[in-house]
Amino acid sequence: MATLLGAESRNRPFVDDVEAYLKTDTVQATLNKFTEAASKYKYMGELEAAAAAEPWEGKIPDIEKTLSMDEPVKTLFEVNDTLFAHATIPPTETVNLWLGAQCHARVYLGRGPESCWRAKLDIAKNNLKDTVEDLEFLRDQITTMEVNTARVYNWDFAATPAASAK
């Protein structure tokens, strides 16, 4: 009968005893079922899971680069319509926002932006890890289904001459 491996392996079916497994189905139907399952796993692995990993692989270096920046920002300020001034803005803990005539607000940044980027980095790494695990699972499923197909085919090949010799 088919043996299901432990829960940590996500229940990949492996056929231990081919003869007992084939009591419920024909050889051709079983081969078709295994081949169809393997091709579905290949399709899912090649297209969906691989495409899902790409955005995370690109975002992680960008987020890490953002977090590692401690350089001052260099910019141009418009003083007048035709006059600009160069400015260097060092990293700061507060930002003053001029809201209108005689009204401004001071916002304390603290560690807010950095913690936000760290949270995004953690999410990106977890999503990439999950996607890689899914790809590995699909590869294992493909291998298991191909091995099952080979085992059923070999059993049928060995059993067919024995049946015709009788």
pTM for this model (two decimals): 0.61
Q: What integer is the mean pLDDT of 98-104?
A: 88
What's the pLDDT score for residue 5?
A: 39
Q: Quick one: tokens of 26?
A: 């024909």
Residue 71, CA distances (Å) to 66, 85, 114, 118, 121 in order:
10, 19, 14, 18, 20
pLDDT tens per residue across span 114-144:
778 888 899 999 998 988 888 888 888 888 8
Angle at 111 between CA 95 and CA 124, to 5 degrees: 115
- Architecture category of domain 2-159 in CATH: Orthogonal Bundle (1.10)
pLDDT confidence bin for 12, thresholds 50/70/90:
low
> Is it the case that residue 163 has pLDDT exceeding 80?
no
33 or 44, greater pLDDT: 33
> Is it the case that residue 103 has pLDDT exceeding 70?
yes
pLDDT tens per residue across span 141-160:
888 888 888 998 998 888 88
> Is it the case that residue 93 has pLDDT exceeding 70?
yes
Give the whole-angstrom CA distance, residue 157 versus residue 96: 81
Cα atoms found within 13 Å of the Cα of residue 156, Cβ hemisphere only: 16
